[in-house]
């Protein structure tokens, strides 16, 4: 499906993620065979938190807070973290997870639109976004906002699905993504907005590798690099804000 036909209206995306919130974590882990946990751990190792003196960390499009909580563990609870999302139902579940992890005093969940963040310029040492950038209606504006709130010399890290380039693995992946994943996801979640049909459509129409790195550079980041993970099913992109 082309990007022009993909329905990314904000009202639809917010409603869709609110509807699937009860199933979100279970299906993420099931449909990725738990590899998504490894990707988040790898992100925190490759882009580690600095000392608290450099400022807090923002995890944008946090969903139920998995990456924010991963960074809380990586920082040993010494760096304040803001976990922001515009889907209220996701944040409610994220806060419950933070309380269970005894991290609710360090990880602050905030309802916010990625295209108009309620934070001052040059605030965060690190801004992260895991599997949420492709859901922002105006991706360019979302990236510019991420750069705006990052402190000079700070970094922006984006973990996103990508399309494997190996011909055989890529074909198997696309078959799984187009047919099996939507079938299982829709069967279990019963999403009225077809969330698990939207997922493969959004991934297959989203820019990846050099194309996304170029978008990040255009938004104001320097030295943007990317590293494919698990044969390119996901890719980690990292750029630095100029000092």
pLDDT at position 5, please?
A: 54
pLDDT at position 125, please?
A: 98
Residue-range domains of the chain with CATH: 34-164+207-241 (3.40.50.150)
Q: What is the pTM of this model?
A: 0.91
Q: What pLDDT, in 10s, does the model give residues 7-19?
A: 788 888 888 888 8
pLDDT at position 186, please?
A: 77
Q: What pLDDT, in 10s, does the model give residues 107-132?
A: 999 999 999 999 999 999 999 999 99
Whether 193 shows a pLDDT value over 70: the answer reads no
| Residue 121 C-beta-side C-alpha neighbours within 13 Å | 4
Strands 221-229 and 81-85: unpaired
Mean residue pLDDT of the chain comes to 91
Averaged pLDDT for residues 224-229: 97
The answer to whether 69 and 130 are in contact (CB under 8 A) is no
Indicate the Cα dihedral angle 24, 103, 56, 147, nearest 10°: 0
pLDDT at position 13, please?
A: 87
Q: What pLDDT, in 10s, does the model give residues 26-74?
A: 877 877 878 999 999 999 999 999 999 999 999 999 999 999 999 999 9
| Residue 197 C-beta-side C-alpha neighbours within 13 Å | 11
Strands 150-161 and 124-130: parallel
Q: How far apart are CA 56 and CA 159, in angstroms?
A: 19
pLDDT at position 4, please?
A: 41
């Amino acid at each position: 499906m082309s990007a022009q036909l993909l329905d990314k209206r904000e009202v639809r995306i917010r409603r869709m993620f609110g509807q699937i919130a009860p199933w979100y974590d279970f299906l993420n882990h099931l449909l990725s065979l738990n590899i998504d946990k490894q990707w988040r751990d790898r992100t925190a190792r490759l882009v580690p938190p600095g000392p608290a003196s450099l400022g807090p960390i923002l995890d944008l499009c946090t969903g139920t807070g998995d990456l924010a909580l991963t960074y809380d563990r990586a920082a040993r609870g010494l760096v304040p973290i803001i976990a922001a999302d515009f889907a209220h139902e996701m944040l409610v579940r994220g806060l419950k997870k933070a309380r269970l992890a005894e991290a609710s005093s360090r990880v602050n969940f905030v309802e916010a639109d990625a295209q108009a963040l309620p934070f001052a310029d040059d605030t965060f040492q690190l801004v992260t976004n895991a599997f949420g950038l492709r859901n922002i209606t105006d991706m360019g504006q979302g990236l510019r906002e991420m750069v705006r709130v990052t402190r000079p010399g700070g970094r922006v890290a984006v973990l996103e699905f990508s399309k494997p380039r190996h011909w055989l693995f890529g074909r198997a992946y696309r078959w799984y993504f187009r047919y099996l994943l939507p079938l299982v996801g829709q069967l279990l979640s019963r999403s009225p907005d077809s969330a698990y049909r939207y997922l493969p459509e959004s991934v297959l129409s989203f820019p990846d590798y050099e194309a996304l790195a170029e978008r990040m550079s255009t938004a104001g980041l320097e030295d943007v690099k990317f590293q494919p993970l698990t044969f390119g099913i996901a890719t980690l992109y990292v750029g630095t804000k100029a000092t």
